[in-house]
Structure 1
């Protein structure tokens, strides 16, 4: 069966400026694809190319196996939810939701059935006779989603739909979109700059930078095996610690030497015989640096570290130290004894580390 969405060798330029460079990505029916990256990386432009709102400069976009390159947006069997909601202010919620069906000549009985079904799904039945001006941001977002849902399209496209909402409402709406996807089994493409949103919603993530795809993978693949330094630094909160080090292979494994602020170095032994250059950047997630007395993992290596800053955060306490000339964050238990200026015995889980080449930024293991 053909992928529901297939993008092959897509290029997009404005004059001599290349915005998207050789984009290749495909998703199956029911996938939730999230395009993530910093502002200006080309993710919204790519979404507009899929929708047909932007003409492409090269390559092709296929939806449901059909080449859409020269097909107008209205004939692509897609529904789009925008950041601005794009609701008609003079129409009631019910009319906003049914307007597209009315334009397409859908009979009134079907319109009423679809409206009732979607209103119940999104829990907006009490709002149907109100106008958008009398709704909260979260309610407007639900109406915009309702208008997309009644289309029953091959593909839903979301362009940063939650960025106008406050933090609490964003979390609620994220849960709502996730459960909606699970209930409908719909195929969705979602643009965000928020990597937490990407990690929680996606079945597949595309990380972009400067119009180039940096990595495509499941949330677990992207988080645990970032392809390069950019992905490692961008995905995760707090970000992965990226520490310059020296590596030497020997009979007992690979020795990793990290300079300390006070002089001397911290030495860890990765028991795997890795083929690493002498200069290397070691990537370790904050949760993979733990109190030595906490549950020890088979690949853990312990070392004494001088803590500079302690940040209590409810269930976790973040401890910041300096290693390899960088601020390094450890995610410790709330009841840790770590204190500023005090040496703390910490365990580094070398089974979970990533190694990167300092010159190319590419992953080495």
Structure 2
């Protein structure tokens, strides 16, 4: 497949607004991707991610701002002239046409020579491993096979930009995982530029080179999967990304030399104190109420890696959830349920007192009122 035309950004969205009547759906959206990037727009239902995708596609007209594809402004450019291909949640296949005809239909309408249609069909069918299905009708296919056909129809267009609108949400859990791997493989094989909408944060983490987390029409954070996961910009991102999500624990911080003491209250017993091996700005001469963010894997049983620096506290076990390769253990800290990820074979039961080891090297600290990240 041919490379997209050389452009600094294959997609650039600048100061984009979108309103439906008096209701503002998108608010000052700014995002850009390089050729070959896999951008995932993620957020809860109603956050504006599909509206943003539709604005990029030209299916919705933006109220303000500008969208550029391949360095060219899309103001006034119709969807068919934007050099994009879209894969929908509903597959949108023609039921009376065979798989082969579904894939080549767009090329036929555009007047592509038949030999070229056949060459592209064979190339894409082989790539997607659907060459044995070309004479079947959509009704004779499984959900995963239909999704491959919808992807094939997009791929033969060889566009500058692929747009995926929750393409896996109609599939069962096992098939979703398989198709996720398939889309990742396709991206790596083709080096295609992709914008992908999902509400599934696991999908976002596994597929993306860049993630944009949205809430109420506003970008909360944009970054690599690693940045989003390990340095969430605020408590919304911390809570939304990750499964189980980040533990958000009310705590008090106090500077002790070049370290920071963390005090956490408990309702049914004495509080615990932990020592963080770094200094937090703005603590001179007093304590500060914060929200301590710790991923479940940063809290483990005392036999694990986290116990090395001696940050261990005895906690009461409320719930034990075996999960195959791990065991999730729930306790209560600061009046909140806190989930620890422990070894699969940990010998622990609800009601036990057990040692929990805390790895504070990846802790996030948030401002309680605004939810913004402090450190």
| Equivalent residue number for residue 192 of structure 1 | 198
Offset at residue 252 of structure 1 (A): 5.3
Q: For 1:55-204, what aligned pairs fall within 5 Å after superposition?
A: 55-204=61-210
* Greater mean alpha carbon deviation, residues 268-277 or residues 39-48: 268-277
**Structure 1: stretches of 5+ with no match in the other structure:** none
Query: What are the superposed Cα offsets for residues 135-174 of structure 1, whole Å, 9 maximum, x if unpaired?
Result: 1111100000000000000000000000000000000000
Say which of 44, 52, 60 aligns to 1:38.
44
Q: Shift in Å at residue 261 of structure 1?
A: 2.9
Length, aligned pairs only: 365
Q: 1:29 to 1:298 in 2, by over 3 A?
A: farther
Q: Is the 8 A contact 2:277 2:361 kept in 1?
A: no
Say if 2:332 is the partner of 1:322.
yes
Question: How far off its partner does 1:299 sit?
Answer: 5.2
The one of 46, 50, 59 equivalent to 2:56 is: 50
Normalized against structure 1, the TM-score is what? 0.98
Tell me the SS of whatever aligns to 1:238: coil
State the TM-score, normalized to the length of structure 2. 0.96
Task: Pick from 13, 17, 20 the counterpart of residue 7 of structure 1.
Answer: 13
Measured in 1, the distance between the counterparts of 2:234 and 2:29 equals 18
Is the CA contact 1:290–1:331 (under 8 Å) kept in the aligned structure 2? yes
In the TM superposition, residue 300 of structure 1 has moved relative to its aligned partner by 5.6
Q: Structure 1 stretches (4+) deviating beyond 3 angstroms?
A: 296-300
State whether structure 2 residue 23 is matched by structure 1 residue 17. Answer: yes
CA contact (8 A) 1:60 1:68 kept: yes
In 2: Cα distance, 1:206 partner to 1:47 partner: 12
Please state how far the C-alpha of 1:298 moved relative to its aligned partner. 5.9
- CA contact 1:79–1:148 (8 Å) conserved in 2: yes
**C-alpha distance after superposition, 1:93-137 (max 9, x if no partner):** 100000000000000000000000001001111110111111111
In structure 2, how many angstroms separate the alpha carbons of the residues matched to 1:299 and 1:14?
54
Aligned counterpart in structure 1 of residue 269 of structure 2, from 259, 263, 269:
263
Contact 1:260–1:325 (8 Å) recurs in 2: yes
Greater mean alpha carbon deviation, residues 258-267 or residues 55-64: 258-267
1:336 correspondence with 2:346? yes
Larger mean Cα displacement after TM superposition, 234-243 or 301-310: 301-310
- Helix, strand or coil at the partner of 2:39: strand
User: Aligned equivalents of 1:58 and 1:49: distance in 2?
Assistant: 11
Instruction: Measure, in 2, the Cα distance between the counterparts of 1:136 and 1:296.
Output: 45
How far 1:271 moved relative to its partner?
A: 2.2
Compare 287-296 and 76-85 and name the one that shifted more.
Answer: 287-296
Unpaired runs of 5+ residues, structure 2, are 1-6
Distance 1:296 1:229, change over 3 A: closer
Q: Distance in 2 between matches of 1:296 and 1:76?
A: 51
The question of 1:348 aligning with 2:358 is answered yes
